[in-house]
Structure 1
Amino acid sequence: MFGDKPKSLPQTVALVLVPQFTMMPVTSAIEPLRIANRLSEQNLYKWSLHSVDGQPVAASNSILTMVNGDLEAIPSDAAVIIGGGLDIQRHTDKRLVSWLRKVARRGVQVGAVCTGAHVLAEAGLLDGFRCTIHWENLPGFTEAFPELKATGGLFEIDGDRFTSAGGTTAIDMMLTLIAGQHGPDLAAAVAEAILHSPIRHHSENQRMSLPARIGVRHPKLVSIIEKMEDNLEDPLSPSILAKQASLSTRQLERLFRRYLDRSPKRYYLELRLKKSRSLLLQTDMSVINVALACGFSSPSHFSKCYRAYYGRTPYRERGVPVAEMAE
């Protein structure tokens, strides 16, 4: 199990970088290990970077990252971490998926940071395991893999599978690993050294609280928006939202105008359009299915609303040539 005391030291960790990987979660996975070595004055961990073909990989910030070798150069006893990032569907290499299936059959511990969970899911390695992914990618991930136990937490460690949502959540995951293997005192010392204290629990929310996100703490407004976010596929009418909040529809209208400078209908539409853009960019769902998943019964109405808000049609968003738009 990932996090159990290793049979021998140092424990080897191999990070496989996918093109357009996000650098922060990758470095967040490595630095706690480096500092654990320094503070313990022992060689507890060693790590290496890899790509499918052994060639340097460009991160999403355009930094070209050198690697230690290809997939075959990864030691057989290494725990494997897939570093994902932007456009993960396009960058999910069939060679990597095949290799992951092979090493998983040998009992290798396999995990991911950021959107690397998508690669593990494509390989079928998250079936029956709790997992997580960045909140921006969660809607598309759950649409693509509805059978998976995607929690939306900061990170998940479940048997020989481990995933973190991205950003600095890899720090918390690796600190949890260090605590399980070498004790909470060392993990706490590492957390202090990188100014990351306290260590967050895996189940904490990825996103800021809704009041912090919208800059408003009005309890009824927050409650209404939470209901909107929970009902994007089957939108609730303004009258139902008002009734559930013990308001009249006119009071509901005034509440949104006062605090958010838009009508509740407009705010709801924007939420649905933002989800639709996420699905268009992060899944292979058809435009029609994206429209239905975001509460639009008519593809033409969806296209009209999308273009009015984003300045381009859903097809253009995906880069579909004009000749193919009449499908």
Structure 2
Amino acid sequence: MDPVYAPTKDHYDIGFVLLPGFSLLAFSSALDPLRMANHLADRRLYTWHLVSRDGRPVSSSSGLETAVDCAMEEGLSLDLVLVCAGVDVQHHCDRDTLGWLRQLARRHIPLGGVCTGGYVLAQAGVLDGYSCTLHWEHISSIHEALLFPAVTFTPQLFVIDRDRYTCSGGIAPLDMMLTLIGRQQGLELAEAIAEEFLHERIREVGDRQRTPLRVRLGRTHPKLEEVATLMEANLQEPLSLDELANYASLSRRQVERLFQRYVDCPPLKYYMDLRLLRARLLLRQTHMPITDVALACGFISPPHFTKCFHDRFGHSPSRERSRRCDRVADLASSPSSPSSPSALRPDASRVGEA
């Protein structure tokens, strides 16, 4: 897709909006390439400003408090604004933040999201008609809850769609910013920054974010990867072991041996684990009724789902949901949290559109 900025511009001002619980790793991965670009070029190519809702310091998900330069309402002339978020992002979409982002969009200031920052942009409505990405855990939850139908979510590491920049968590922001720097300042500088960071290659827009099974488990077998991929693609309507074996052109016994050798567990237990982990994500990240969560993860009987969930995690699905409510209550009572009750639920105008 076309770069937003003209490559001949000498200097860019970047704003980083820090929301409570932001990912420190993702934020650093986005900021440090700008610092290194200045260092290697021996001149100020980039200036950055840290922004919070009220100008007060913000705590990351690790508890580290970060001072900021200014509040959202203060006027800044910026070339790009990146929203940095993390855990419990849905509880930090207060009206002031969403309104400010809409105002920036009306001024045609390019916007982006780091880690779960794209969720905030989608909630503000400034991603309607765009492609974007989030961490794969949140994408699955959004699809299940049918949120943001005007936004196209992809499983890519990062997406640059016209004047919108979004990336998943971890170190994916590093690749997005290196790509941006390469477009603005030349590929040679971007590659030099990657070399300084011992980053062996700049991953591209088309790279997908979920780690392949062979990387998670080490050396493995292509047929095992094929069966595991089939499992991940069929969580709502699970396939039988015979069906999995048939699709992979294997016998049932061969599938069992592959899982025993490389994963050290029976294939159906691995499959059940995938479904239960998906269920836990939906319980944590959506308001779906527990019965709907059970159905979305392939459990026809709610009692069977409850038993399997308890056996795996040591507590019931309702307890998992109540833990989420406890976190919401803690956020609401925190002095640093917005006092408006709208901060604890999606913006009403956006819900109506969804």
| TM-score normalized with structure 2 length | 0.85
2:3 and 2:52 mapped to 1: Cα distance? 22
What CA deviation, in whole Å up to 9, does each residue of 1:15-43 have, x standing for no partner?
Answer: 11110000111111111111111222222
Q: 1:260 maps to what in 2?
A: 263
2:256 and 2:36 mapped to 1: Cα distance? 54
| TM-score normalized with structure 1 length | 0.91
The AA in structure 1 aligned to 2:223 is: K
Q: 1:325 maps to what in 2?
A: none
Instruction: State the 1:227 CA deviation.
Output: 0.3
Instruction: State the 1:216 CA deviation.
Output: 5.1
Instruction: State the 1:255 CA deviation.
Output: 3.7
What CA deviation, in whole Å up to 9, does each residue of 1:207-255 have, x standing for no partner?
Answer: 3321222345222222111100111111111221122223333443344
Q: 1:19 maps to what in 2?
A: 20
Q: Helix, strand or coil for the counterpart of 1:234? A: coil
The AA in structure 1 aligned to 2:154 is: T
Backbone CA RMSD of aligned residues: 2.1
What CA deviation, in whole Å up to 9, does each residue of 1:27-78 have, x standing for no partner?
Answer: 1111111111122222211111111111111101110111111101251434
Question: Residues 169, 256 of structure 1: CA spacing in aligned structure 2 closer, same or farther, 3 A cutoff?
Answer: closer
Kindly indicate whether the alpha-carbon contact (under 8 Å) linking 2:82 and 2:114 is maintained by their aligned counterparts in 1. Answer: yes
Kindly indicate whether the alpha-carbon contact (under 8 Å) linking 2:15 and 2:81 is maintained by their aligned counterparts in 1. Answer: yes
1:155 and 1:252 mapped to 2: Cα distance? 34
What CA deviation, in whole Å up to 9, does each residue of 1:85-133 have, x standing for no partner?
Answer: 1111122222211211121111111101001111011112222211111
Q: How many residues align?
A: 322
Q: 1:194 maps to what in 2?
A: 197
Structure 1 portions without partners, runs of 5+: 323-327
Kindly indicate whether the alpha-carbon contact (under 8 Å) linking 1:228 and 1:236 is maintained by their aligned counterparts in 2. Answer: yes
Q: 1:206 maps to what in 2?
A: 209
Instruction: State the 1:157 CA deviation.
Output: 0.5
What CA deviation, in whole Å up to 9, does each residue of 1:131-153 have, x standing for no partner?
Answer: 11112322113334363321111
Q: 2:106 maps to what in 1?
A: 105
Instruction: State the 1:314 CA deviation.
Output: 1.3
Question: Residues 84, 69 of structure 1: CA spacing in aligned structure 2 closer, same or farther, 3 A cutoff?
Answer: same
Identity %: 46
Greater displacement, 105-114 / 199-208: 199-208
Kindly report which structure 2 residues correspond to 1:93-132, keeping only aligned pairs within 5 A, or say none.
Answer: 93-132=94-133
1:195 and 1:246 mapped to 2: Cα distance? 41
1:245 and 1:192 mapped to 2: Cα distance? 41
Question: Residues 258, 179 of structure 1: CA spacing in aligned structure 2 closer, same or farther, 3 A cutoff?
Answer: closer
Kindly report which structure 2 residues correspond to 1:128-143, keeping only aligned pairs within 5 A, or say none.
Answer: 128-143=129-144
The AA in structure 1 aligned to 2:259 is: F
The AA in structure 1 aligned to 2:195 is: E
Q: 1:227 maps to what in 2?
A: 230
Instruction: State the 1:158 CA deviation.
Output: 0.5
2:92 and 2:279 mapped to 1: Cα distance? 21
